[in-house]
Amino acid sequence: MPKFLQTRDIEFFKGIARELVDDVVQNTIVLFKINLNETKINLYGESVNKTWHAGVELYALLQKDAEISIYEGFGPDTTQNITFKVDRFMCEEKNTYPEIGDVIYFDGSYYEIGNTNEVQFVGGQPYNNFSIVCETFMVSKSNLNIEERVK
């Protein structure tokens, strides 16, 4: 433990961070994890029809890139990247952990996690890590099989 950083300081930082993100910022996301027991994979370890566990609601800080529209002859296709930062302690309390391949629902769109890291160290100490940073990209709803389709 660093000389001037004590357990009560860490708990104070944790309380302030949670109050700020949960009560002031209030960006609500829903994390969907792949249900590995029911998702069938092919010879290459890929799956066309993934199944998902029920979504878990979390609060997050986010950094959005601008939406980009691509025209390829079949109409416009919109893409966007968002970096979500979720409270590691809240994930532990809700018994969930964002991983590559999981999907985040935010603001009417779905974003697949392409990378995660934990680099927000308090006092420069890896065991005082506060957040999980998820780098995501927008995916089409029709490819996910999360929402029930209207027939």
Instruction: Kindly state whether residue 151 falls inside one of the protein's structural domains.
Output: no
Instruction: Kindly state whether residue 119 falls inside one of the protein's structural domains.
Output: yes
Six-digit token string for 75? 């109409």
Each residue's pLDDT tens digit in the chain (151 positions)? 456 677 787 777 777 777 777 777 778 999 999 887 887 777 776 777 788 888 999 999 899 888 888 887 777 778 889 999 998 888 888 999 999 989 999 988 999 999 999 877 777 777 778 888 999 999 887 767 776 544 4
Is 66:101 a contact under the CB 8 Å cutoff? no
Spatial separation of the C-alpha atoms in residues 35 and 41, rounded to whole Å:
12
Instruction: Kindly state whether residue 43 falls inside one of the protein's structural domains.
Output: yes
Q: With the CA atoms of 119, 31, 27 and 129 taken in that order, what torsion angle do they form, in degrees rounded to the nearest 10?
A: -20
Instruction: Kindly state whether residue 148 falls inside one of the protein's structural domains.
Output: no
Domain count, the chain: 1
Instruction: Kindly state whether residue 20 falls inside one of the protein's structural domains.
Output: yes
Spatial separation of the C-alpha atoms in residues 108 and 45, rounded to whole Å:
29
Is 82:66 a contact under the CB 8 Å cutoff? no
Residue range(s) defining the domain that contains residue 103:
7-142
Q: Which of 64, 118, 110, 124 is nearest to 91 (CA)?
A: 118
Q: Give this prediction's pTM.
A: 0.80
pLDDT at 3: 61
CATH of residue 106:
2.40.10
Instruction: Kindly state whether residue 44 falls inside one of the protein's structural domains.
Output: yes
Instruction: Kindly state whether residue 2 falls inside one of the protein's structural domains.
Output: no
